[in-house]
Amino acid sequence: MILRWYHLIMKLMTRNTDYAVRAICHMAAKPQGVISVTELVDELKIPRPFLRKILQMLSKSGLVTSYKGIGGGFRLEAKPDKIYLSDIIKVFQGDFTLNECFFKKKVCPNRQTCILKKRIDLIERRAQEEIGAITIGSLITERQR
């Protein structure tokens, strides 16, 4: 089921969210504890300035903990099966929505009667359910197959 939604999700995720997911997956796949920014940059090929900003946001959200000094870096704060893709999306993009119903930068006046909105809302609910079921642990398991 995860692969079925993969392409839709990738179009909905920002670059920062994508980088965050990659970094968290890498940390989860190597449960030795603290992982340095240098290791993450080298392994993931993510530009250092972007990665530092992303890791700082993840630290503020409580998904990772930052350790300074020699041997410092970042460590996950939860087991991979307890970190949901929706949690990461929320950190970088806010609540997941497909359609804000804006028309010329204003809320569309036909929101209540729009038949397309009702269909999009249904699709959005299904997508939220699917995304809400994806954990970092499931992504790692899927990748290992």
pTM summary value: 0.80
For residue 97, the model assigns a pLDDT of 73
Q: What average pLDDT score do residues 104-130 get?
A: 80
Q: Which letter, b or e, does each residue of 6-17 get, where b requires 16 or more Cβ atoms within 10 Å of its Cβ?
A: eeebeebbeebb
Pick the CATH number of 2-94+135-144 from 1.10.10.10, 3.40.190.80, 1.10.287.990, 3.40.50.300: 1.10.10.10
Q: What is the CA radius of gyration of the chain?
A: 18
% residues pLDDT > 90 (the chain):
49
Domains of the chain, by residue range, sit at 2-94+135-144
Q: What average pLDDT score do residues 44-69 get?
A: 94
pLDDT in tens, 18-29: 999 999 999 998
Confidence class of residue 1 from pLDDT cuts 50, 70 and 90? very low
pLDDT in tens, 61-108: 999 999 998 888 999 999 999 999 999 999 999 887 766 676 666 777
Q: Contact 77/136 with Cβ under 8 angstroms? A: no
Q: Which letter, b or e, does each residue of 29-60 get, where b requires 16 or more Cβ atoms within 10 Å of its Cβ?
A: eeeeebbebeebbeeeebeeeebeebbebbbe
Q: What is the dihedral of CA 8, 11, 130, 118, to 10 degrees?
A: -80
Distance (Å, whole) CA 80 – CA 31: 10
Indicate whether 136 pLDDT > 90.
Answer: yes
